[in-house]
Amino acid sequence: MDSTILKTKNKEPLILLLAKNEFTVLERRIYWLILNQIEQGFNIDQNLFQNKVFQIPLSALKETNVKRLKETAEKLMSRKVKYESDDDEKFDHIIPFPEVRYDGKKGYIEVYMYARVVPYFMELKRGYSEYELYAALSLVSEYAQRLYTLLSRWKDTGIWFNVSIEEFKVLMGAEGYNDFFNLKKRVIEIAQKEINDKTDILFEIEYIKTGRNFTHLTFRIVTKEKQRLIDAHDNVLQEMESVSKLNIGQVMAQVNLLLVTQYNFSTNQQRKIINDPKILQLFIEEDSKITHGIRGEIKNKTAYMATILGFSKKKVGLK
């Protein structure tokens, strides 16, 4: 159903994120697309909780096998989500999608949710993980799906610290991996490669030993945009270091080439750049930052640089 408007980001409440479930890759995509359509918030009025119906566009599921789609729709009705209290003395099961209908001609799967289940999907006051919907939908490994949403919870702080391997296996639905090296090879490394390749985040893992055995994991997470800026700043520093090793003639040759090919300064402005050491240094550094993308998209390099160098009264925010 092409008319369905999807938000670019999902917010998954922690009560669902940390719950146990047995969703397949395709079922989890449906679950994410339902989350995407729900109006969420904090301390939501319980009078708003009512039965809901969602139409999930088949085009968003990245699956063309009709038999598999029908089987998924049927199995989704029996999937349970189990969550526990902090003291492990209480637990509850919910069946979030008790009615599911597949309609290939209309191009969607219709999913029903009863009012009692709705709060688990709507209420954000206990925390949530926010992640890119289309990045999530691109993942084809069940473990990559689970780990991406878990790591996204920590991407603002940049670290998910000292997670016990036993807790990690439960969160990942990988309790059957008793051998650490099988867990590492078949769960962690496969998920890591796919997440790093396809999503908006990158992560590295520190494997921590207690005695002779690996017992904990620490994940260091960075968004690709942040990493791009880190790399860009490193490139600028390296470039400025290289310039510092040139003699004045070589520096002037490079600057003159830039002024002729990249900018449209007046003759008087060009003289100021060349003859004032402070302006010259600033020009070289700012040009490097523009080249490496630190300054973002600049439509008029000359006007921007004129402001930076003090030739224009217009103010520009610097990074």
Contact 174, 224 (CB under 8 A): no
Cβ neighbors of 250 (< 8 A, separation 6 or more) are: none
| Region 139-223: CATH code | 1.10.10.10
pLDDT at 317: 52
Q: What is the pLDDT of residues 305-319, one digit of tens each?
A: 999 999 976 555 555
Mean pLDDT, to the nearest integer, of 96-120?
A: 92
* CA-closest candidate to residue 192, choices 156, 168, 176: 168
- Domain locations in the chain? 1-133, 139-223, 246-308
Could you report how far apart the first and last alpha carbons of the chain are, in Å?
43
**Phi, psi (rounded to 5 degrees) for 74:** -70, -45
pLDDT at 288: 95
Least confident of 79-88, 284-293, 295-304: 79-88
- Write the CA distances from 205 to 86, 152, 221, 225, integer angstroms: 26, 15, 9, 20
* CA 3 remoteness from chain centre: 25
Q: Please, which pLDDT band fits residue 3 given cuts at 50, 70 and 90?
A: low
Q: Please, which pLDDT band fits residue 1 given cuts at 50, 70 and 90?
A: very low
**Phi, psi (rounded to 5 degrees) for 239:** -65, -40
Q: What is the pLDDT of residues 32-75, one digit of tens each?
A: 999 999 989 998 877 668 899 999 999 999 898 999 999 999 99
* CA 114 remoteness from chain centre: 30
Confidence check: pLDDT of 265 > 50: yes
Q: Please, which pLDDT band fits residue 221 given cuts at 50, 70 and 90?
A: very high
Measured over the CA atoms of residue 40, residue 43, residue 45 and residue 49, the dihedral's sign is positive
pLDDT at 146: 98
1-133 placed in CATH 1.10.10.10: yes
In angstroms, the CA 86 to CA 142 distance is 26
Q: Please, which pLDDT band fits residue 136 given cuts at 50, 70 and 90?
A: very high
In angstroms, the CA 118 to CA 16 distance is 12
Confidence check: pLDDT of 78 > 70: yes
Phi-psi group of 71: left, alpha or beta (phi > 0 → left; psi -120 to 50 → alpha; rest → beta): alpha
Q: What is the pLDDT of residues 277-299, one digit of tens each?
A: 999 999 999 999 999 999 988 99
Q: Examine domains 1-133 and 139-223 and report if their fold is the same.
A: yes
**If you average pLDDT over every residue of the chain, what do you get?**
91
Mean pLDDT, to the nearest integer, of 165-170?
A: 96
pLDDT at 85: 61
pLDDT at 302: 95
Mean pLDDT, to the nearest integer, of 95-116?
A: 92
Q: What is the pLDDT of residues 168-194, one digit of tens each?
A: 999 999 999 999 999 999 999 999 999
pLDDT at 49: 81
